[in-house]
Chain A
Amino acid sequence: MMRLVLQLALRNIWRQRRRNGLVLFAIVVSIGGVFVMNSLARGMEQDFLTFSIENLRGHIKILAPNQLDEPGLRYSIPAESDWSLFNRPEIEAWTPRLRSPAVIMSERETRGIEVVGIDPSRETHSFIENLVIEGQSISDSTDQHLLIGRDLAEELKTGIGRRLVVLMNGPDDIAIESGFRVRGIFDSTTTRYEEAYVLTGLSSLQTLTGVDGFTEISLHLDDLDQIIKVQPLLATQLPELDVVNWEALDPFTSEMYRFIDFTVYILIVVFLGTLVFGLINALVTAVLVRIKEFGMLRVVGMKSRLVVMQVVIECVIIMFLALVIGLVVGLLFVWWIGDGIDLTAFAAGVEAFGMSARMVPHIVVEDFVILGVASVILGLIASYFPARRVIKTSILQSLRDG
């Protein structure tokens, strides 16, 4: 019996292929469109996140006391502490740093910056990992040279091999002034890094400032969702330090992230909602032109249940077909966009905003599944209306109409 209904459904779909083709096309475009927009939104979201995390934040940061209110060298995390608590599967990498606001001077100009002492071998997840460097990078923790950004170098009118003077507040509020030689100049994706950070070796900065420790430790987890689990754990184990996550450190990006997350679902709901109205309309018209035929089927002994099933199956087949094609088209389109749509022409300055100038699509499997399941459910809901129309029309009425 199922076979019979399926056969009738398939043949009828084929018979009304022009009409059904149009319906199919409309659904394919909607689903493909939602999919592409969704992956672009997800890409943007990813962009915001990466930008925020790699900006020396990490997922979780452990800060010396008072750093949040008054960054500087007054308080620090003792270097010789026991860090075995970071030996957890969720923690992919961790890196200690010594950071202080400072003034940097060339013979010509003066700028306010932040000196950051790093252990370059451990900076595997920050922007430092991906710098394009002219000259040489910081070789190791004991390196006494400076690595500065291109923009800063231009503002200070300095270059490789030249000397710069750095002035900062020491741990006991006595000013420290020291000369450094520039060893390398970096270009990064954003001018923000280039103007803000001046990098040198961690232990050489410790020696210079007399701080035997770090101002922060930045942690990179293997998954964003692990923050909820790891952060409170570390907080209880390090009661005298501040354990904060990237969202607390960067509320703006965090808000953007949540907003896009929300928008993505709104997008799906709005699009599929509109789609379902159009779909119901098209399907109802499609059965109305066949109402006489349905009447005849019922006259000769086809049960209402089977007639309904036929209508529902027709709708679901079209919906499913459209879903598959729509997702494939969407995927192909995303693949075609590949490494992004270049927005530099339209959006000068978006970089400072925490966005890159390329819109790179990013596919989230979960959204893929939600879209698929929602479409099939909507197809079922939509098919209810034409099916009801067929059943609610009496047999004789059906025979007269059409």
Chain B
Amino acid sequence: MSEFAVQTTDVTRIYGSETVPVYALRGVSLTVENGEFVSIVGPSGSGKSTLLHVIGGLERPTEGEVEVGDTTLGECSDSELTDVRLYKMGFVFQAYNLIPVLSAVENVEFILQLQGISKEERRERAQEALSAFGLEDLFDRRPGEMSGGQQQRVAIARAVVSNPDVLLADEPSANLDSETTKEFCEYLQQANEERGVTILTATHDPLVMGYTKRHIQLVDGQIAA
């Protein structure tokens, strides 16, 4: 295992045309150690989502390099990036995290199924993960039959079930009320502390920031001091 979980070097991401470029990120360099719980904060449009997307291999930086563990993302093909996401990363978004036609336990199993893990083992691990996030009574519920907070907890369970190196969360609490957000953050903290998952979360929410040990402040696509 490398000494850091995530490292970006001079990452720049430019949108738009050559004549009217939009700089979403301008030379972002940062290192996140293994086991850190970090929030990425900043005003709207400052590049938080773009940074997470670049780290998650969902888009490629215009310049610069991203390393996740000992993998240099720039050297990976699209198909290899898919595997990096499957085996090394977990994702939690603001909404639409779950597959509507699958039950909670099937949604969590889905990742293990893609990894080719046997049926018995998957079921056991999925149930264990859901139980860890207080969902032992909701195994067979479909996403449409759960509250927003419950759905986000299923999403964390799914994100951590395969023991990824990093969990990337983009405004995961945006649709939750403060009570549910608190509960959600406690579960994130639990994943971080008990499972040792490195967590990067973009957020506007001071409540979420309160749980993280480090804040990375973005302004206009640059890290503020």
Contacts and interface: CB of A to CB of B under 8 A. Distances in A.
Interface of A: 1, 4, 8, 11-12, 14-15, 292-293, 296-304, 306, 394-396, 399, 402
B102 A11 contact: yes
Nearest to A10: B101
A8 B101 contact: yes
Contacts of A14: 101
Contact of A1 (B58, B78, B83, B116): B116
B99 A8 contact: yes
Contact of B83 (A301, A306, A395): A301
A244 B102 CA distance: 70
Contact of A300 (B100, B102, B111, B116): B111
Contact of B87 (A4, A301, A396): A301
B53 A12 contact: no
Interface size class of B (residues with CB under 8 A): 20 to 34
B7 interface: no
Contacts of B102: 8, 11
Contacts of A4: 110, 113-114
Given A15-B101, A293-B100, A300-B158, 9 more contacts: A4-B114, A8-B99, A8-B101, A297-B99, A299-B58, A299-B91, A300-B111, A300-B114, A301-B86
B56 interface: yes
A303 B82 contact: yes
A299 B101 CA distance: 17
A399 B158 CA distance: 18
A195 to B, nearest CB: 72
6 contacts: A1-B114, A8-B102, A11-B101, A14-B101, A302-B82, A302-B114
A11 B83 CA distance: 25
A12 B101 contact: yes
B58 to A, nearest CB: 5
- Secondary structure dominating the interface of A: helix
Interface string B79-102: 100110111000101001101111
Nearest to B168: A299
B59 interface: yes
Contacts of B100: 15, 293
Contacts of B59: 394-396
A300 B96 CA distance: 12
A395 B53 CA distance: 10
Interface in B22-47: none
A162 B168 CA distance: 108
Contacts of A298: 82
A11 B99 CA distance: 11
B79 A303 contact: yes
A296 B99 contact: yes
A12 B100 CA distance: 9
User: Max chain B CB contacts within 10 Å: which of A292, A296, A306?
Assistant: A296
B56 A299 contact: yes
A302 B82 CA distance: 7
User: Max chain A CB contacts within 10 Å: which of B85, B97, B111?
Assistant: B85
B91 A300 contact: yes
Contact of B58 (A304, A306, A395): A395
A239 B91 CA distance: 88
A292 B99 contact: no
A84 B82 CA distance: 78
A304 B99 CA distance: 16
A75 to B, nearest CB: 82
Interface string B116-152: 1000000000000000000000000000000000000
A99 B149 CA distance: 96
A301 B85 contact: yes
Given A15-B100, A293-B100, A300-B111, A396 B85 contact: no
Nearest to A13: B101
A15 B102 CA distance: 11
